[in-house]
A and B are shown apart, each in its own frame.
Chain A
Amino acid sequence: MPQDADHSAAPLLRVRGLDVAYGDTPVVRGVDLDVARGERVAIVGQSGSGKSTVIAALLRLLPGAGRITGGTVELDGEDLAAAGEARMRAVRGGRIGLVPQDPGTNLNPAMRLGDQVADALRAGGLRGPAVRQRVLELLAEAGVPEPERRAKQFPHEFSGGMRQRVLIATALAREPELLLADEPTSALDVTVQRRILDHLVALAEAHGTAMILVTHDLGLAADRADRVIVMLDGRIVEQGSPEQVLRSPQHEYTRRLVAAAPAAVVAQGEAGVPAGRAAVVVAPGAPADDGAPGAPGGDGPAAGDVVTVRNLVKEYRVRGRGGLLRAVDDVSFSVPRGGTTALVGESGSGKTTVSRILLGLETPTSGEALVDGKAIAGAGRADRRALRRRVQPVFQDPYASLDPTHTVERVVDEPLRIFGIGDRESRRARVAELLDQVALPRDVAQRHPGALSGGQRQRVAIARALAPAPELLVLDEAVSALDVLVQEQILDLLADLQERLGVSYLFISHDLAVVRGIADNVVVLRQGRVEEQGSVDDVFHSPRADYTRDLLGAIPGAAFAR
């Protein structure tokens, strides 16, 4: 709604020399940023780069000890960095809208969704029945079906995607001129992600709203923005059109980002599979690395498979309704010895349930999940112990999966102690060896997980999983929480370990692009059923199921393929 034509030449937002510090620690340094009316600018960077801090600073909603220590933030010539709180209140929601990152935590759990949208309107002075009318309009516009009914519901009754639509409706409620979208879809499934982004961009375009899109995903930024800004350690290191940034990145860091973008792998698919990993594909019956007990039982699995899952079904009772939920519905697949099978699917696809059954944490309703021809579920105590030792997990969140009060040595040593492997001396040597294997310096052993970065922690988690010399690692979204460059390092490490140790992986991920790089076989799951399975090349080059095509199409980074 720009009415003053004389402003149109000057940028809507003009940031100069912005410095932000938390306490005495500077986190944003000398950021210059212009956003023209109706323009879409993407800020790309890894965690800690300061990109979200810039967003919070623009709204003057920095947490805790955060404050702007220098520079100006001009919105239509008015310096927001120096504005009073009352003035900022008029700007927030009125002229600058915020679409936050995590729809799970950004809605008040104790308030009806309609009321939460209405609050945005009331903050702008709207009163009376017009509020309700407008709330319903906004919800409908944001793609919430049956707005009349849904407005009366609470957040826990909504899916993640629907919640994000409500947050978008809230941000657009007062038709702001600038929308700040802080990782607006990174907490959502890929196909949902695409729909929400499409919708968000379409709405912004329809209203002529300018947008700053903050993301860690270079592919997504390139797809959606007119201009891409790359941040590192609180500074802008590069900016330009998506073409420029992708085709001729100037800064070293941007070059690494472009090289590491998993989506690039998809684009290169035809040219040649990345070296090293394809070679790992194990011909059935090829001698496995070392003495796994010979294939047991006549009716057992093919000699080359470490895991055989047959007609697996898992049902849960649903509280209140008296019904049954089939989380896993007739799933069959195998993991070749020394190879990698990927389970791919969105939330609710049953991929984690399958992994929990393999780890012996759940019992199947029917069907079987065999490791070396034996099922953990039906096994006796001693057998189960032996099987547990052969299958080790690595979880998604390296922050939550390591006990912060233990030293790294104790963490890695724990499985050795549990399985009674070796004495104190030999265990200490084994821990050192494991740390070497995951390329961590040995002095890390005496540190606590809190002193390590996310990537280092995930290396510790891998070392712990490898400790009892398992045959299979269950990697449940093991790289999903990591920054792109770190992700790449961990994937390289995994490939390297597989080559050296002959360990097999069940790699669970929602991210097809990552799977492309590491897996031999892919199983695509949807609502507990197998949609499609086959070798990586087949699934990626000639997907048969519509759903697989959807998933592939939803991978951001079409810009790379241009």
Chain B
Amino acid sequence: MRRYLLVRLGQSAITLLLASMVIFLGVRMLPGDPALAMAGEEATPERLAMIRADLGLDQPVWVQYGRFLAEVASGDLGESTRTGASVASMIGATLPVTLWLSLYAIVVAVVTGVALGLLAERYRGRWPEWVANAAALTSLSVPNFWLGMLAILYLCIGLGLFPASGYVPLTDDPVGWLVHLTLPALILGTGLAAVIMRQTRASMIEAMRTDYVRTARAKGLGRTRVLLRYGLRNSLIVVVTIAGLQLGGLISGAVVTEQIFALPGFGKLTLDAVFQRDYPVIQAVVVLTTVGYVLVNLAVDVLYSVIDPRIRVGGRS
């Protein structure tokens, strides 16, 4: 197990290094000159050269890359070319919002998705399956922003159940935090819940056809017990894979949700930075997203080995 972890960690490090190169070059290749963007249209060539020297843009690319790596590694993400504020502090302020929102949404999605998937399999061919299927299809087809606006209109303004906008940090007011995040998380999680429900159901159907499930029933175990103990665990691999892939996707999905509920999150920060060609911020945002993806994938792989003991030995079954 430890060996497996070490190998996976090493692979993650290599992935990160490769990703950092792609990010660095990608940002360099964006159209537009950051020095020009900073200095404005009327800047003198001397002024531009000064800014370039200041940003290190006059150095060879590999030197710039080396400096970029060293800075990222030391946690120094530079300053925003727009506001001059430290990028680290900007991210520090916005990241928790998005992280909590995404995690909350994932929990909502996995819990409802798996529960509905199980229900659909347990009552195959009867009304609970129809209802679960219809719900999944609906939430897949309805766009997030529209659902969000409906929710604000009826649940927040109409019934006053939730606040329509804003965010309260967890450390300031845990209850307010929960209240503010619940509706956005539900909205963000519905689409994903639908995907997870469909996948859970499909792999449960697969699992319930296996020989070991029949053998388990021949022991005298009830259908529900077999479903949970023999079917679910073997279906979880699929669920974990999807949830992991989506957690990364949620961060971009959160952009829209954050906009609707006016949450001061990472998505909004990214959007603003792109519009303003704020290189250091864009770079930092992309690096962090990549790190997030790699970490989630690592977590997914570790979860695999917990779910399926055969994966621990590193061999095929």
Q: Which A residues have a C-beta under 8 Å from some C-beta of B? A: 56, 59, 61, 63-64, 85, 89-94, 97-98, 100-102, 105-111, 116, 119-120, 123-124, 154, 156, 167, 170-171, 173-174, 319-320
Contact = CB atoms under 8 A, between A and B. Distances in A.
B222 interface: yes
A63 B218 CA distance: 13
A438 B306 CA distance: 51
B89 interface: no
B309 interface: yes
> Which residue, A56, A98, A109, A170, has most C-beta atoms of chain B within 10 A?
A109
Residues of A contacting B: mostly: loop
A109 B215 contact: no
B313 interface: yes
Q: How large is the interface on B (under 10, 10 to 19, 20 to 34, 35 or more residues)?
A: 20 to 34
Interface in B131-156: none
B310 A156 contact: yes
13 contacts: A89-B221, A89-B222, A92-B218, A100-B215, A110-B309, A111-B229, A116-B216, A120-B220, A123-B220, A124-B220, A156-B309, A156-B310, A170-B215
B166 interface: no
A119 B221 contact: yes
B313 A320 contact: yes
Interface string B1-21: 001000000000000000000
B215 A98 contact: yes
Contact of B314 (A59, A97, A171, A319): A319
> Which residue, A102, A110, A119, A120, has most C-beta atoms of chain B within 10 A?
A110
A123 B221 contact: yes
> Which residue, B211, B212, B223, B233, has most C-beta atoms of chain A within 10 A?
B212
Interface string B285-317: 000000000000000000000011110011101
B82 interface: no
Contacts of A64: 209
B28 interface: no
Residues of B contacting A: mostly: helix
Nearest to B314: A319
Contacts of B215: 98, 100, 106-107, 167, 170
B219 A110 contact: no
Given A89-B222, A98-B218, A320 B314 contact: yes
B211 A106 contact: yes
Nearest to A94: B220
A109 B308 contact: yes
B217 interface: yes
Given A64-B209, A100-B211, A154-B309, 5 more contacts: A93-B219, A93-B221, A109-B317, A110-B308, A156-B317
Q: List the 3 shortest-distance A-B pairs measured between CB atoms, nearest first.
A: A93-B220, A123-B220, A98-B218
Contact of B3 (A107, A124, A320): A320
A211 to B, nearest CB: 15
A111 B222 CA distance: 18
A110 B233 contact: yes
B211 A105 contact: yes
Contacts of A61: 214, 217-218
> Which residue, B218, B310, B315, has most C-beta atoms of chain A within 10 A?
B218
A90 B220 contact: yes
Interface in B207-257: 209-212, 214-223, 229-230, 233-234
A33 B217 CA distance: 24
Contact of A92 (B209, B211, B220, B310): B220
B106 to A, nearest CB: 23
Contacts of B210: 105
> Which residue, B219, B223, B307, has most C-beta atoms of chain A within 10 A?
B219
Nearest to B212: A108
B49 to A, nearest CB: 58
Given A107-B212, A156-B309, A320-B314, A123 B233 contact: no
A112 to B, nearest CB: 8
A110 B218 CA distance: 18
A109 B237 CA distance: 13
A319 B314 CA distance: 8
A111 B214 CA distance: 15
Contacts of A85: 223
A109 B310 contact: yes
A124 B220 CA distance: 7
A12 to B, nearest CB: 18
B313 A170 contact: no
B214 A100 contact: yes
Contacts of B313: 156, 319-320
A116 B309 CA distance: 15
A109 B309 contact: yes
Nearest to A112: B309
A119 B309 contact: no
A108 to B, nearest CB: 5
A170 B216 CA distance: 10
B308 A89 contact: no
Contacts of A119: 216, 219, 221, 229
Contact of A108 (B234, B315, B317): B234
A59 B219 CA distance: 10
Contacts of B222: 89
